[in-house]
């Protein structure tokens, strides 16, 4: 019964997400088509490309056909995984993005993992004693985390820890002389990861700590917590086993729904730290007017957000069956 209900829920959310994804792709094409000038420039990029190539692209995307045909061709291509060709990089956009995926995943996953773990811990501990010292500190951190532009935090971290103290490197994902073999290479990678991951984390750390604190405070006032305490459960068991378990749903929802923001933040952070990921690729493609790459990245990021929201909804439903 429960499994069947969950199955229906997943199906309903899928039926919801697929049209959303479709709209995102159509919107992407609307953006291309409404650009002032020749849309072929957007599909090729602003380069002195050979005339035959432009004619080919014009034909492939049906730019000489009515708009509905153009949209249909564009959507079909995208759904087949064809995000166009980057003339600037002499590479299909999809493989260009795929080549940068690992670096972005390394950075965003580290930041998300770090901010989730620390944020939940801080939220739980500060809910234990509202208005205590830690609680005030966490609230201050949350306020700052919302207000500081993350790329500026990155610049300040470089200033302090790379330039003034000289403790950590400021640019790239590994030393310029190349990746060293074995542990030395891993240690070098970690040293390069610390500052950008920290800069990217601050905002989510603030958000997750704040949401966890709020959810915990709500749960800690419930009768079953009182009951658990009356039964003599240890403080630790009450906080983690009873309260956090029941506060988990909103926390996970917030983490999932903010995945898109962490990707956007990553674009800025990668630019500040010369991190060789998708964000840096976006920055470079804007600089070189490599439109196909820009549009491809927009599509990939949008699709990731839709998928993350879907996954979050399903996870939320599994944690809290009351969600309809």
Partner 1 sequence: MIPISVFIAGGWLTLTVLAAVFAPLVAMDPYAGGPDALLPPLSPAHWLGTDDLGRDIFAETLFGTRVSLTVGVTTAIAGAVIGVAVGAAAGWLGGVADAALMRLTELFQTLPRFVLALVTIALFGPGLAKVIVVIGILAWPQTARVVRASVATLRSAPFVEAARVGGMPGIALVLSEILPNVAAPVIVLAALDVATAILLEAGLGFFGLGDPNLVSWGAMLNEAQQYLRTAWWMAVFPGIAIAATVLAFNRLGDALNAATDPRGRGR
Q: Which residues bind partner 1 (CB under 8 A)?
A: 19-20, 23-24, 27, 31-32, 35-36, 42, 143-144, 146-149, 151-152, 155-156, 158-159, 163, 170, 214, 260-261, 263-265, 267-268, 271-272, 282-283, 286-287, 289, 291, 294-295, 297-298, 301-302, 305-306, 309
Kindly tell me which of 43 and 249 has the beta carbon lying closer to partner 1.
43
b/e sequence 128-140, b meaning 16+ C-beta within 10 Å = beeeeeebeebbe
| Smallest distance, partner 1 to C-beta of residue 149, A | 5
**64 φ, ψ to 5°?**
-90, 0
Kindly tell me which of 114 and 283 has the beta carbon lying closer to partner 1.
283
b/e sequence 302-322, b meaning 16+ C-beta within 10 Å = bbebbebbbebbbbbbebeee
Kindly tell me which of 286 and 315 has the beta carbon lying closer to partner 1.
286
| Smallest distance, partner 1 to C-beta of residue 287, A | 7
Kindly tell me which of 148 and 319 has the beta carbon lying closer to partner 1.
148
30 strand-pairing partners:
none
- Cβ partners under 8 Å of residue 268, min gap 6: 150, 151, 154, 279
| Smallest distance, partner 1 to C-beta of residue 309, A | 7
Q: What is the DSSP letter of 229?
A: H
| Smallest distance, partner 1 to C-beta of residue 58, A | 18
Kindly tell me which of 233 and 264 has the beta carbon lying closer to partner 1.
264
End-to-end C-alpha distance for the chain, whole angstroms: 15
| Smallest distance, partner 1 to C-beta of residue 186, A | 27
92 strand-pairing partners:
85
CA angle centred on 47, ends 43 and 50, rounded to 5°: 85
């Amino acid at each position: 019964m429960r499994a069947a209900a969950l199955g229906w829920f997943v199906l309903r959310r899928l039926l919801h997400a697929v049209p959303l994804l479709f709209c995102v792709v159509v919107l992407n094409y609307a953006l291309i088509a409404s650009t002032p000038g020749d849309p072929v420039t957007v599909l090729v990029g602003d380069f002195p490309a050979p005339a035959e190539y432009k004619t080919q692209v014009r034909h492939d995307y049906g730019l000489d056909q009515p708009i509905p045909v153009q949209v249909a061709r564009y959507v079909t291509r995208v759904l087949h995984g064809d995000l166009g060709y980057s003339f600037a990089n002499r590479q299909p956009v999809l493989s260009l993005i795929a080549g940068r995926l690992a670096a972005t995943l390394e950075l965003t996953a580290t930041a998300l993992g770090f901010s989730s773990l620390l944020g939940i811990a801080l939220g739980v501990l500060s809910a234990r004693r509202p208005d205590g010292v830690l609680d005030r500190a966490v609230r201050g951190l949350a306020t700052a985390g919302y207000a500081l532009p993350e790329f500026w935090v990155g610049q300040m971290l470089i200033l302090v820890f790379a330039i003034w103290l000289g403790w950590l490197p400021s640019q790239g994902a590994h030393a310029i002389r190349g990746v060293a073999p074995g542990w030395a290479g891993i240690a070098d990678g970690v040293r390069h990861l610390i500052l950008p991951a920290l800069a990217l984390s601050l905002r989510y750390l603030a958000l997750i700590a704040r949401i966890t604190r709020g959810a915990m405070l709500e749960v800690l006032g419930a009768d079953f917590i009182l009951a658990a305490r009356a039964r003599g459960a240890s403080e630790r068991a009450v906080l983690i086993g009873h309260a956090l378990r029941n506060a988990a749903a909103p926390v996970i929802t917030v983490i999932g729904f903010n995945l898109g923001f962490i990707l956007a933040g990553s674009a800025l952070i990668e630019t500040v730290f010369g991190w060789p990921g998708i964000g840096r690729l976006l920055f470079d493609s804007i600089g070189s007017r490599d439109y196909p790459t820009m549009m491809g990245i927009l599509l990939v990021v949008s699709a990731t957000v839709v998928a993350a929201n879907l996954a979050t909804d399903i996870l939320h439903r599994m944690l809290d069956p009351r969600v309809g």
